[in-house]
Amino acid sequence: MKREVLVDVLSLVGVVIKQIGYGFETLRYAWIHRFFHSFQRPLFVPLKVLPPISPKVQCTPVRRRFGWHKLVLRAAVVFGLLVYLLPDGFTSLTNLLNKGKIAEAERSFFEAEAGMGGMPYFELGLLGIDIKPASLEKDALIAGIPEPVEYSKPKLLLYTSYTVQSGDIISNLAQSFGLNQDTLISVNGITNSRLLQINQVLRVPNQDGILYSVKKEDTLESIATKFETPVQTLQTVNELFSDSLTVNAPLFIPGARLERMDLQEINGDLFIWPVRGYITSPYGYRSSPFTGIRQFHSGMDIGVPLGTPIRAAMSGRVTSVGYDKSFGNFVVISHHAGYRTLYAHMSVIRTKSGDYVDTGERIGDAGSTGLSTGPHLHFTVYKNGVTINPRSLIK
């Protein structure tokens, strides 16, 4: 709309100026013809700016165009284009004129000393902004400093239910509920998140936290100190009307998190693969490759080429190194929380008893020593002296 109006205005201005120029030329020609061609002799000698005309020769006077209307038209076009091209019209021209003032305000903003909250102080008047005290009070309320008291108050623990669907995993469910996965795992007593079943019903609390089983020596004050939570918060959340606690009773600790290692164990990413290969014999019952008798296989066999580097599945202390007629060359590493790992059938051992090894550190080479049908690694995981399926704990 702005462009159409501008074109119409410029066209009208051009037509008007052109008509004025034609009228001026017409009057000028009539004046010359009347006073220089109506008599045998001119009444007066014409001005030097006009061409001399002989009374005996009829000639058309030279039409000299002064061109002033063209200058006006060009000026109008340039001015119109300038206004049209600027995004905000005359506002941009005003801002350009006030460029020095804005630069001064910017310097005041960035170079001022930091005030409360690290925000610098500067004069808003330099920008032409007039803020009234009422608006400042309103802005302070919107800023939310400090936050409303009701947001900081402990709230009663409430639960909703959710039925597990196909494709659901703990991390995605926790994110959709706005909770930590620690909360869903602890509240629902999940020991292996990979074994989540379709149609399994989960309890979903209205706040983050974990369940804690009360021990015989525990008091409300000792639990509050352990988890750095006010006693009043524990009482409000769990609806406790006294300080007495029941042994083995579940107590919800708001805001608490699981231990990192416990969470890794539950999610099955506690260990890394000691070697990269294919599983030739899983954990569990199988027929013996030597006798054909069904027996329990305490570890997981991973087939790899001879000499493949074997790495520690998790950091720990090497507690045993040696040779066994069944396991061949082997290494045993003790880890935190009662875990131990066994690496068997090595061709070469590259560590010794008492060494501390990091996760992924090379401890030997794959081989086929001991009772073996070919190059592979026998990998066993113990938890408090009892073997468990290694596959459930490897990333």
Rounded to whole angstroms, the Cα distance separating 160 from 344 reads: 48
Q: Which residue segment(s) compose the domain that 178 sits in?
A: 159-266
- 51 and 11, same structural domain? yes
Single out the residue of 196, 187, 254, 262 nearest to residue 227, CA to CA: 254
Domain stop point among 87, 112, 143: 143
DSSP 367: B
- 67 and 12, same structural domain? yes
150 in any annotated domain:
no
CB-based contacts of 86, cutoff 8 Å, min separation 6: 92, 93
Domain stop point among 113, 143, 173: 143
381 in any annotated domain:
yes
192 in any annotated domain:
yes
For the domain that residue 385 is a member of, what is the CATH number? 2.70.70.10
Omega of the bond leading into 146 within 30 degrees of 0 (cis): yes
Token output for 177: 């509920």
For residue 313, how far is the Cα from the chain centroid? 32
Helices (H), the chain: 2-37, 68-85, 90-97, 99-111, 133-143, 149-152, 170-177, 181-187, 220-226, 231-238, 260-267
271 in any annotated domain:
no
| H or E element in which residue 340 lies | strand 339-349
- 199 and 133, same structural domain? no
Strand partners, 202: 162
DSSP string, 237-305: HHT-SSS---TT-EEEEET----HHHHHHHHT-SB--SS-SEEEE-SEEEE-TTT--EEEE-SEEEE--
273 in any annotated domain:
no
- 258 and 181, same structural domain? yes
- 84 and 127, same structural domain? no
Angle, helices 2-37 vs 68-85, to 10°: value is 170
Domain stop point among 245, 266, 287: 266
- 260 and 164, same structural domain? yes
- 105 and 74, same structural domain? no
Token output for 303: 């087939």
- 297 and 382, same structural domain? yes
Question: Which pairs with CB-CB distance under 8 Å and at least 24 residues apart come from 353-356?
Answer: 353/318, 353/319, 353/320, 353/321, 354/317, 354/318, 355/317, 355/318, 356/315, 356/316, 356/317, 356/318
Token output for 206: 């209205």
- 224 and 209, same structural domain? yes
In order along its 395 residues, the chain shows pLDDT tens digits of 555 666 677 777 777 777 777 676 676 666 555 555 544 444 444 444 445 544 544 545 545 555 566 677 677 777 766 666 655 555 555 555 555 554 554 554 444 444 444 444 444 444 444 444 444 444 444 455 555 555 567 888 999 999 999 989 898 999 999 999 999 999 999 988 888 889 999 999 999 999 999 999 999 999 999 999 999 999 999 998 888 898 999 999 999 999 888 888 888 778 999 999 999 999 999 988 888 889 999 999 999 999 999 999 999 999 999 999 999 999 999 998 889 999 999 999 999 999 999 999 999 999 999 999 999 999 999 999 999 999 888 87
310 in any annotated domain:
yes
CB-based contact 345:310 (threshold 8 Å): no
- 287 and 374, same structural domain? yes
- 291 and 254, same structural domain? no
Radius of gyration of the chain (CA): 46
148 in any annotated domain:
no
Total domains in the fold of the chain: 4
CB-based contact 341:394 (threshold 8 Å): no
- 74 and 127, same structural domain? no
For the domain that residue 194 is a member of, what is the CATH number? 3.10.350.10
Q: What is the pTM of this model?
A: 0.49
Single out the residue of 67, 72, 40 nearest to residue 53, CA to CA: 40
149 in any annotated domain:
no
CB-based contacts of 216, cutoff 8 Å, min separation 6: 247
